[in-house]
Amino acid sequence: MSGIDRVGVVGCGAMGTGFAEVAARAGLEVTVVARSEPAIARTTERLAHSLERALKKGKLTTEERDAALSRVTFTTSLKDLRDRQFVLEAVRESLADKREVLGELDAVLTDPDAVLASTTSSIPIMKLGQCVRDPGRVLGVHFFNPVPVMPLAELVASLRTRPAVLDRTRSLVTHTLGKQVVQAQDQPGFIVNSLLIPYLLAAVRMLESGPASAEEIDRGMVLGCGHPMGPLALVDLIGLDVIVSVAEAMYEELKEPLYAPPSLLLRMVEAGFLGRKSGRGFHAYDA
């Protein structure tokens, strides 16, 4: 077993909140670091709503819901993570931002064996590990959204990650959190996004060049290929801004045109059309 019962997470977006919920439901003591008190209020509401939804679906009892909520503590100070045995960095997909957080965590954590994990979906772990004194305790743990529902996590070790760190994290993710894992090489996009991002960008380019509407593209892939949703609807669900960040990181590293964000995607992000979270992307959504 992992021997981990105290975890932390920095960032309270979909990934950070989802990890906090899964960890709390698994019986772990969770501390979440947010940027501000308003962010804490929003995250608390999001977490409570997700647990209530699970309760209504019969996936947990009232007692289990209340117990999970009681295990999560919110703060705005990284210093409150000093006693954590495992900390997940879940800030936005930016090399500079992630390295800043990991560097600060490296100075705060008192346990030299504490694991520093990143939820990055595209940035090589070796680049992230360079900002800490011991790159051997840094690795990637890429969950999928929504974390409480999706069964998979990608584990990514850099050339410097210690085998014991990888094994301990694998035990935490599989035995404690109940996820299945695939281990990926430390390259941009790892396994899933290396295949997914070119597919999504190809759908945007098809729409941009005019052969079919967004509705027709999505309907074609759902009915013709058996996908649960079309590529443009999936971009809306993930967030157009997130797709741009991931694609740009992969293109910067690999310089392959299939990873370059199309102009249409860039213009939509500039216009604030970010998908479901903004009410409009390639499709329109109720506010």
Q: Which pLDDT band holds residue 139 (cuts at 50, 70, 90)?
A: very high
Residue 14 CA to chain centroid, in angstroms? 7
Q: How many CB atoms lie within 10 A of CB 195?
A: 10
Q: How many CA atoms lie within 13 A of 117 on its CB side?
A: 29
Whether 210 has a pLDDT exceeding 70, the answer reads yes
Domain of residue 255 covers: 193-277
Instruction: State the average pLDDT over residues 27-51.
Output: 94
Got the DSSP string for 95-130? Answer: HHHHHHHHHHHHHH---TT-EEEE--SSS-HHHHHT
Cα pseudo-dihedral 117, 120, 167, 196, rounded to 10? 170
Whether 169 has a pLDDT exceeding 70, the answer reads yes
Tell whether 165 and 31 lie within a shared domain: yes
Residue 283 is assigned to a structural domain of this protein? no
Tell whether 40 and 147 lie within a shared domain: yes
Q: 147, 167, 184 — which closes off a domain?
A: 184
Tell whether 202 and 174 lie within a shared domain: no
Tell whether 50 and 124 lie within a shared domain: yes
- pLDDT score of 131: 92
- pLDDT score of 46: 92
- The mean pLDDT of the chain is 95
Q: CA 120, CA 89: separation in Å to the nearest integer?
A: 8
Contact 73, 82 (CB under 8 A): no
Tell whether 162 and 207 lie within a shared domain: no
Rg (CA), the chain: 19
Residue 123 is assigned to a structural domain of this protein? yes
Q: 184, 212, 243 — which closes off a domain?
A: 184
Catalytic positions, please? Answer: 121, 142, 154, 193
- pLDDT score of 1: 66
- pLDDT score of 2: 72
pLDDT digits (tens, 9 = 90+) for 228-252: 999 999 999 999 999 999 999 999 9
Tell whether 161 and 199 lie within a shared domain: no
Q: Which pLDDT band holds residue 286 (cuts at 50, 70, 90)?
A: confident
Instruction: State the average pLDDT over residues 164-179.
Output: 97
Domain CATH number, residue 139: 3.40.50.720
Whether 287 has a pLDDT exceeding 80, the answer reads no
Instruction: State the average pLDDT over residues 6-11.
Output: 97
Number of domains observed in the structure of the chain: 2
pTM comes to: 0.89
Tell whether 37 and 66 lie within a shared domain: yes
Instruction: State the average pLDDT over residues 69-92.
Output: 96
Tell whether 37 and 141 lie within a shared domain: yes
Q: CA 71, CA 26: separation in Å to the nearest integer?
A: 10
Tell whether 264 and 148 lie within a shared domain: no
Ranges of H-type helices in the chain:
14-25, 37-56, 62-70, 95-108, 125-129, 163-171, 192-209, 214-225, 231-238, 240-254, 263-270
